[in-house]
Amino acid sequence: EDQVTQSPEALRLQEGESSSLNCSYTVSGLRGLFWYRQDPGKGPEFLFTLYSAGEEKEKERLKATLTKKESFLHITAPKPEDSATYLCAVLSTSGTYKYIFGTGTRLKVLA
Amino acid sequence: DVKVTQSSRYLVKRTGEKVFLECVQDMDHENMFWYRQDPGLGLRLIYFSYDVKMKEKGDIPEGYSVSREKKERFSLILESASTNQTSMYLCASSFSGPGSPLHFGNGTRLTVT
């Protein structure tokens, strides 16, 4: 069964304290792995798509990486405005439209 | 930028009412989706549509129906609202190409009393 697990559930960082969020996945075949940012009361905002192991994408203080079993979202020198819930999702080859979401990591960056 | 617009941010309805949630996207995406998001349960797929007038059930379709008469518009209908349908409802769209990401609207917070 296709599955996505995110860890930790919650993370508190001091401003400038770099860290990583983890997304472990089990799929029969990977069409794509997606990272989203979600602010309270709003819809998820698309950040990155990764398609194959070894791929990396960057945007400002965020960098996403992918292996055959997991993805990491690295946050370098975070700022308070990076506080949000970060969601990971995968699209497997077993279902054209079946996106499987993790339950997210709630990130709080303290000034 | 992709724009997915949901007609209401907040909605309060009474048990038994028929409820319409509307979603419009401006990127000519083939696929459209309705999810609900609840604390601890994450995002769960209610219905999706891969073309006009085409629809498929997701994981939790019971108590819901959908309508897609035009490519840019996808409606979610709660035939007879119940309190367990109180939730955040998220509409999303995507291209039909393999591995295309979902783009979400800002959600409708529905409360059924």
- Give the whole-angstrom CA distance, residue A94 versus residue B7: 33
Q: Residues B113, B56, B27, A33: is their CA dihedral positive or negative? A: positive
Q: How many CB pairs under 8 A join A and B?
A: 53
CB–CB contact B104 A91 (8 Å): no
Determine the pLDDT at residue A95.
Answer: 67
Position B29 scores a pLDDT of 94
| pLDDT score for B77 | 98
| CA A30-A22-A102 angle, 5° bins | 60
Contacts of B104 in chain A (CB under 8 A): 36, 43-46
Distance CA A95, CA A30 (A): 10
Does A93 score more than 90 pLDDT? no
User: How much of chain A exceeds pLDDT 70, in percent?
Assistant: 98
More confident residue, A25 or B96: A25
For all residues of chain A together, what is the average pLDDT?
95
Report chain A residues whose CB lies below 8 A from the CB of B93. Answer: none
* Interchain contact, A32 vs B98, CB within 8 Å: yes
Q: How confident is the model at residue A49, as a pLDDT?
A: 96
pLDDT at B9 over 80: yes
Work out the average pLDDT over A68-88.
97
pLDDT band for position A96 (cuts 50, 70, 90): low
**Contact check, Cβ <8 Å, A43/B104:** yes
Least confident of A67-76, B16-25, B92-101: B92-101
